[in-house]
Structure formats: C-alpha cells, structure tokens
Amino acid sequence: MDRLDFIDTRFGTANHYHFSQGNCLPLTGVPFGMHYLSVETSQDRGAWWFHPDDHSFSGIRLTHQPSPWVGDFATVTFLPVSGPLTKGDVFHNQTSYRPKEAAFQPHLLEIFSQRHRILTRATAAAYSFHCDFSFDNGKAGLIIHNPGKSSWQVTADGKTILGCVQNITDCQDKDLAMFVYLQFSSPVLKKLIGEDLSPKSLDDCSKTSFTYLQFADDLKHLELRAAASFISFDQSQLNWQRDFPRSFEKSLEHSRKEWLSYLSRIDIKDKDFDKVKAYYQHFYRALLFPQRWYEITAAGQAIHYNTTSQRPVAGKYYTNNGFWDTYKSVYPLLSLIAPEIYADILEGLLSAYQDTNYLPKWLSPDERGLMPGTLVDAVIADGAVKGIRKDLMPELLEAMLATANTDSQGTGYGRKGNQDYQELGYLPNSYQESVNQTQDYAYSDFCIGQVAATLGKIQLSSQYHTRSLNYRHLVDTHTGYLNSKDRQGQWRCDFNPIHWGQDYTEGSYYQNGFAFYHDILGYIRLIGGKAAFAKRLEELCNHEPVFDVHSYGFEIHEMSELAAQDFGQIAISNQPSFHLPYLYHYIGQPQYSQLILKNLLSHAFTDTGYPGDEDNGSMSAWYLLNSLGLYPVTPGTGQYLIGIPTVDQGNPLSAKRQYYPNQLPG
C-alpha cells in the first residue's frame, strides 16, 4: 500500500448550490497538470455535474473547472456505448454504474457501465490522457459530447482524429479553441453527428455538440490516446508524441510516479491510521491548482496562449487560481515542499502582467476580476523574502507598483476605486466591500514594501510600509470595530457586526474585520491594549453563529456553513477566518489558539468533506499546515506561527530544502 491508496478523489464532492462540503470534483491527472479527467454524472445541474451519490454515468470528462462558481471551459466528454444509437443525445445513451465498485484515484478512474457492459479506465498526464475501454458485448461505439461546438475530423488511416473544441464560460477570446489530437487502437468505420444522427464522411469538419463514432461490431477492446493544446493542432500532436505510443499500464504508472514524487515530500506518521489517510487525502487536493497554461515547443521553449492579443507568446503561465483564496495557505505550503513549482508560478505571474499590464486577481483561464484586492502581491512578497526567483523580483516589483497605482476603470483588473483610495486613504463605502478592499490594499502595500526591502530600495520600502497603515482610517477607536466611511469621512451609522455583505466580503465584520495581518500589534495598541483585544476575541469566539443576510437579501451558502458549525463567529468554512484562531498569540495567550485549533481540526473537517468551499487547495493547505502545528499569519514575512500539531510525526520539508523558522510575534 502506498500513499495513493489512502486517497478517494470523491472526498469533498457531495455538494449542491445551497451548501458546500468542498465544491470539489474528483480529478485525475498529475499535479498542476494542464488537463484533468473526471466523471460526469449529471447533465441538468449546471456546474455541479458530478455527485458521489449519483448512479448515472454520462462519460469521462476532460475538464478545466476550478470551481462551480467559475465554471468549466474547453470541456469535452467521452461516453463509450455498445450497440446502435436511436437518438442523438446523452440522456438516451447514458448508463448506470455502481459507485462502491468504481475507482476514483488521483491517477486512475475506473467505471463499469451496467447498461452497456463496458469497463472504462482512464488516466492522464500534464498534456495528454489515455482511456482503455473493454466491451463485453462488442459493438463498440464512442459518443463525444460537449457544451458549445466541436468538430472531429477522421484522417485517412481511420484511427487518427483532429478535434477542435470551442466552449467557454468567460474569456477575453470568445473564440478560444482547444485542439485535440486523438488516436484509436482500431479504425473508425462510421461517424454520425447531431440530434438527428446525420451521417457524415469521416473527414467532415462540421461543428456539433454531439458526435458518434462507430467501430467494428466484433471489437472487444479499444484504446484512446489523446493530447490537447491551446496553441495549435501541430502543438497538440507534439504533446501527443512526447507521451505516446505507450501502453495504458505505462501511462498509469507515469501518473502514479508523478503523484508519489509530491506526496512523499511530507512524511506523516501517527498511531491513528485514519489521521494519516486524512492527511494525504487533503495533500492530493493541495497539489491540483494552479494548472499549467503553457506548453513546450519543439525547440524546448515555454509558450502560452495570450487571450488578450489572441496569439501564442513566450513564457510560462499558470491558471485556475483565485489569489484571494490561495495566498494564505497554498503558496506558503508550496514554498516549503515545492519551491521549484513556486518559482515557475512567479514566472507565470510576470507573463500575466506582460499580457495585460496588470497582475492577476482570479485567473480561469484569464482574468475574471473576482474578489477584493490584488492579493497576488502576497505571493510575490513571500517568494521574495524566501529567496525564490530573486532574478525576477525587479520586474515583479515594477508589476506590483504599476498594478497598485493604476485605476482599474471598471475592467476587473487591478484595484477598484484606486484613485479614491489614494486620495482618501481608504475606499469609501460607495464601493461594495469597501472594508475588505481597504484592508487588502493596505496589506498589498505592505507586501510591496517587503519586496522593495529585499532589493535594497529602502526609501520605497518605507513609503509603502507607511501606506500599509491606511486601514487604520476605518478603525473606530471608540468601539474597536472596522466600520466603513463615506467620502466625507462619516461612519456608516447603521453598522451591525452581524450584517453580511455591503462593506464586507462573504461575511460580516466578525469574519472580515481582522485582515491587517502586518499590523496586528499596532491595531491592539490603537484600540487600547491587550485587555481590549482580549475582550474583542472573547466576543468573536463566544458569539452565537448568527447572521443577518442584509445586503445579500437571501441566505448564501457561506451563511449556512457558518451556522452549521458551532465555533462562534469563526467561519473556518471561508478564507477570511483562516488566521483568526492565531490572534490570541498576539496577546501572549497561545493556549487559547491551540484549544480553538484542536477543535477545528477535530470537528470541522469530516470523513466526507470540508466545512465549506475548498477553493483550489486553500482549505486543504490550511489543514496540512495546521496539522503540522504551523501557520503563516502574514505571508510576505517568512514567519510561521506555532499552533498545535495533531499528528505524532510530520516532516514538511524535502531533503536539504531550506527551513524558514517559526517566529512568534513580539
């Protein structure tokens, strides 16, 4: 038994629109791959197209979905069938399967079709995927279906297909295409497309959302070897040639070795074997995102498709990541266990800036403009203070400065209301989420100061460290609360600490009023000292988990997830609360932090999923670090605070990698 045997990728996948236990998908591939495979079980639930309790199977889906709230792009599904088709749709051809008998592992999907009597096995590499179909009844066929349009041209040998998939949830390039090079082990004999199953010549290039490929009636075994590219058909073929031809077992072993090479970087031991299994279950999830969005040319050059200029350009690039979610946990973890990936991601951030003149906020595949702030700044600063990609830091600092001082002008890039923020020292409450935005801008300014300091730019560093105290404009020193102000400097008069939305993001003051990570001690002095802060923390921890829907107008899933747990107003179900247990450290009472952490780690995470949206590795990385007794409250400083380990032994560091010592705040 190896670490992969501990992992069932269905963990965290039992979700619906109104309540999240992770909002994850069962993804198979390799860590940080460009493409993943999953199982599609529903056609009528939108972005929630898999549920572990479903018994239906509508195919193996090539997916790039980072979250149901963002949606999928460049997706296509392969459904093996047996016998002639009577209708050209998925509903009349899908099948049932037995979830308890299926395999959902990081390197392998294995599904048996009860209706068609077909065993499907699938695995994937970074740019390719490999499916193996065994037909008990012969009469082999394959349905290819997708939202949007696709074309599938069979070449002269009958075994090779050139596919072009065009479907997108949102992108600068509305015609973004994925080029797919497929090769079957047996020739295609017939092709039908569309709802009316219109017969087409094999080399026909008609665009459709439904294609049926028919093989020999006596065929009992079929392999599909494929690679996909966002650059061109030639690049997809090059991606294919690097991985194939090889047997399915060799493809499976390749994926297995890739996973083990990362999973072995943290060695967990505990007398409770369930803890060990849970740890690696979370570890798998922390290694999926961000995904590659670059490919390697025949000359060995990294290139990516620039959706803004709509052409391939040089440089590495990573996508499917919201930095508001991931900067707090994913990147501090990667800096310890995979600094080489962190280094590549920093190069990708520079590519993103060169493509758009802004550093990214939420990429999928390009800028979605979601969530407050530009917290990618913390990713850069944490790399800078840890000595990762020193060579890129001068250019990355320029990118940080440009993004911090350019108004977004409603484009979704950069800082919203930046001109008002710089004039007033805070974002006025005429803007949504103004308290979160103000704190995030201030923290980003701190991160800019940190990067400047590593480059010896002392005056610039001092300037931005001073700017980082701007959040104090929103501290009501009479109450200690962070409240919003209008342009005239007047407090919001109907402030209520349990009001959700309006000035706060996915929460109320309680979850969002402590995001001044770089100046917690300064805030404590500002509101009257440790005793006053202790009173505020007691209120935070002991207040009932109640909420007022306020500006949302209805109960969003984050509210439901807060109320489902009994941890006061600490909503560990969402990222703004990740650091809240550690606030007791700053008044010399770490024992209370440890008590809270022990309860959260023991009770908030269940055998089936997470306390809320997992969000691209962020919640898994929080669990991993805190189980080891570490947490980086302030990324960009290199500090990891000491919590309470919940495993007997855990080494988060691969051999001879530098360790950045834990430091308690003074």
Q: How do residues 633-643 score in pLDDT, each as one tens digit?
A: 999 999 999 99
Q: CB count, 10 Å around CB of 476?
A: 14
Residue 339, both tokens = 């600094």
Predicted confidence (pLDDT) at residue 202 exceeds the cutoff of 60? yes
Q: Which residues contact 588 (CB under 8 A, 6 or more apart)?
A: 530
79 band by pLDDT with thresholds 50, 70 and 90: very high
Give the SS3 label for residue 343.
Answer: helix
Same domain (yes/no): 272, 387: yes
- Residue where the block lists tokens 């001690």: 521
Same domain (yes/no): 253, 292: no
Same domain (yes/no): 279, 254: no
Same domain (yes/no): 182, 283: no
Quick check: 63 and 291 in contact, CB under 8 A? no
Answer yes or no: is 659 within a domain: no
Answer yes or no: is 376 within a domain: yes
Quick check: 121 and 28 in contact, CB under 8 A? no
Answer yes or no: is 658 within a domain: no
Same domain (yes/no): 327, 276: yes
Same domain (yes/no): 171, 318: no
Residue 503 maps to which CATH number?
1.20.1610.10
User: Comparing C-alpha atoms, which of 320, 366, 240, 234 is closest to residue 34?
Assistant: 320
Residue 160, both tokens = 């090779």
Answer yes or no: is 656 within a domain: no
Predicted confidence (pLDDT) at residue 665 exceeds the cutoff of 60? no
User: Comparing C-alpha atoms, which of 118, 116, 112 is closest to residue 99?
Assistant: 112
- Per cent of the chain over pLDDT 90 is 92
CA 162 to CA 152: how far, in whole Å?
A: 6
- Domain ends where: 205, 230, 262? 262
Quick check: 361 and 441 in contact, CB under 8 A? no
Q: How do residues 181-195 score in pLDDT, each as one tens digit?
A: 999 999 999 999 999
Average pLDDT along the chain: 95
CA 269 to CA 365: how far, in whole Å?
A: 38
Give the SS3 label for residue 521.
Answer: helix
- Domain ends where: 232, 262, 292? 262
Q: How do residues 452-465 score in pLDDT, each as one tens digit?
A: 999 999 999 999 99
Predicted confidence (pLDDT) at residue 659 exceeds the cutoff of 80? no
Same domain (yes/no): 521, 575: yes
At 407 the pLDDT is: 83
Phi and psi at residue 81, to the nearest 5°: -135, 165
- Residue where the block lists tokens 């929080």: 622
542, burial (CB in 10 Å: exposed 0-12, middle 13-18, buried 19+) = exposed
Same domain (yes/no): 94, 83: yes
Same domain (yes/no): 366, 481: yes
How many domains are contained in the chain?
2
Q: How do residues 571-607 score in pLDDT, each as one tens digit?
A: 999 999 999 999 999 999 999 999 999 999 999 999 9
Q: How far is CA 260 from the centre of its chain?
A: 21
Same domain (yes/no): 336, 322: yes
At 666 the pLDDT is: 34
Predicted confidence (pLDDT) at residue 655 exceeds the cutoff of 50? no
Same domain (yes/no): 489, 566: yes
- Domain ends where: 227, 262, 297? 262
Judged by average pLDDT, the poorest of 31-35, 200-204, 254-258, 343-347 is 200-204
CA 569 to CA 642: how far, in whole Å?
A: 22
Predicted confidence (pLDDT) at residue 663 exceeds the cutoff of 70? no
At 653 the pLDDT is: 55
Quick check: 2 and 260 in contact, CB under 8 A? yes
Answer yes or no: is 578 within a domain: yes
CA 316 to CA 328: how far, in whole Å?
A: 23
At 430 the pLDDT is: 97
Q: How do residues 287-298 score in pLDDT, each as one tens digit?
A: 999 999 999 999
**DSSP category for residue 505:** S
Residue 212 maps to which CATH number?
2.70.98.10
Q: What is the 3-state secondary structure (H, E, C) of 271-334?
A: CCHHHHHHHHHHHHHHCCCCEECEEECCCCCEEEEECCCCEEEECCCEECEEHHHHCCCHHHHH
Predicted confidence (pLDDT) at residue 528 exceeds the cutoff of 50? yes
At 436 the pLDDT is: 98
User: Comparing C-alpha atoms, which of 533, 494, 501 is closest to residue 516?
Assistant: 533
Q: How do residues 241-282 score in pLDDT, each as one tens digit?
A: 999 999 999 999 999 999 999 999 999 999 999 999 999 999
Mean pLDDT, residues 656-666 taken together: 37
Answer yes or no: is 665 within a domain: no
Answer yes or no: is 437 within a domain: yes
Question: Residue length, the chain?
Answer: 666
664 band by pLDDT with thresholds 50, 70 and 90: very low
Same domain (yes/no): 151, 289: no
Q: Structural domain of residue 198, as residue ranges? A: 3-262
Which residues make beta-bridge pairs with 362? Answer: 322
Provide Rg for the chain, Cα atoms. Answer: 26
**302-306 and 311-314: which strand pairing?**
antiparallel
At 602 the pLDDT is: 94
Predicted confidence (pLDDT) at residue 468 exceeds the cutoff of 70? yes
Residue type (1 letter), 70: V
Quick check: 215 and 222 in contact, CB under 8 A? yes
Phi-psi region of 316 (alpha: psi -120 to 50; beta: other; left: phi over 0): beta
Predicted confidence (pLDDT) at residue 412 exceeds the cutoff of 60? yes
At 7 the pLDDT is: 97
- Per cent of the chain over pLDDT 70 is 98
**Containing H/E element for 400?**
helix 393-404
Predicted confidence (pLDDT) at residue 500 exceeds the cutoff of 70? yes
My answer on whether omega of the bond before 52 falls inside 30° of 0, hence cis, is no
User: Comparing C-alpha atoms, which of 320, 295, 302 is closest to residue 232?
Assistant: 295
Answer yes or no: is 662 within a domain: no
Mean pLDDT, residues 467-491 taken together: 96
